[in-house]
C-alpha cells in the first residue's frame, strides 16, 4: 500500500507491538512536522489511489493492516483471516464507525458486517460517510438497514 511518509525513520520498528490508545499516543510522538499536516488533511492517503488503479485495493473495503499485526491477530482471533475474502480498501465500514482505540475484534465485527452485507448502495453509503468524516462533520456512520 502506498502512502506518503508521515513518521520518523524506523518508527514502525519502535511502534511494532503497540495498538489502541498506546499506539495513538506513540504515533503522535513519531510524526514529522509535514507528516502531521498530511494526516490532518488526509492527503497521506492520496497515493493509495495508485493501488486502486492497479487493482490491488478497492476504494471501500477492510483497511489493510501492518503485516506484523496480521499473524498475531490470526492467533488471537481465529476468524481474522476472513477479512481477506475481499480486496482491502482505502476506507472501510470500521473507519466510518469507530476509532483507533477500539479493539481489533470490534473492528473485525464491522469489517465482517460490511463483507456479509456488501452491495452497491452500502459501498456508496460508506463513501459518503467517509467524506462527511473527513470534512469534519462527525461520525456519519452508515446504518445497515438490510
Q: How far is CA 65 from CA 81, 104, 108, 128, 129, in A?
A: 12, 11, 12, 23, 21
Instruction: Write the CA distances from 14 to 18, 26, 27, 50, 113, integer angstroms.
Output: 9, 9, 10, 28, 33
- Return the pLDDT at 140: 47
Domains of the chain, residue spans: 11-134
pLDDT higher than threshold 60 for residue 144: no
pLDDT in tens, 14-71: 887 777 778 888 888 889 999 989 988 888 889 999 999 999 999 999 998 877 778 8
pTM for the full predicted model: 0.77
Amino acid at each position: 500500500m502506498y502512502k506518503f511518509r508521515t513518521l520518523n525513520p524506523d518508527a514502525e520498528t519502535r511502534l511494532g507491538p503497540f495498538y489502541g490508545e498506546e499506539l495513538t499516543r506513540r504515533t503522535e510522538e513519531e510524526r514529522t512536522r509535514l507528516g502531521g499536516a498530511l494526516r490532518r488533511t488526509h492527503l497521506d492517503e492520496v497515493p493509495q489511489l495508485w493501488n486502486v488503479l492497479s487493482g490491488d485495493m478497492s476504494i471501500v473495503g477492510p483497511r489493510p493492516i501492518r503485516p506484523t499485526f496480521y499473524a498475531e491477530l490470526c492467533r488471537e482471533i481465529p476468524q481474522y483471516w476472513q477479512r481477506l475474502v475481499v480486496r482491502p480498501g482505502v476506507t472501510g465500514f470500521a473507519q466510518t464507525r469507530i476509532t483507533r482505540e477500539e479493539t481489533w475484534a470490534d473492528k473485525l465485527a464491522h469489517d465482517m458486517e460490511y463483507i456479509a452485507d456488501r452491495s452497491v448502495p452500502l459501498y456508496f453509503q460508506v463513501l459518503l460517510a467517509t467524506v462527511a468524516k473527513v470534512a469534519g462533520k462527525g461520525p456519519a456512520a452508515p446504518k445497515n438497514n438490510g
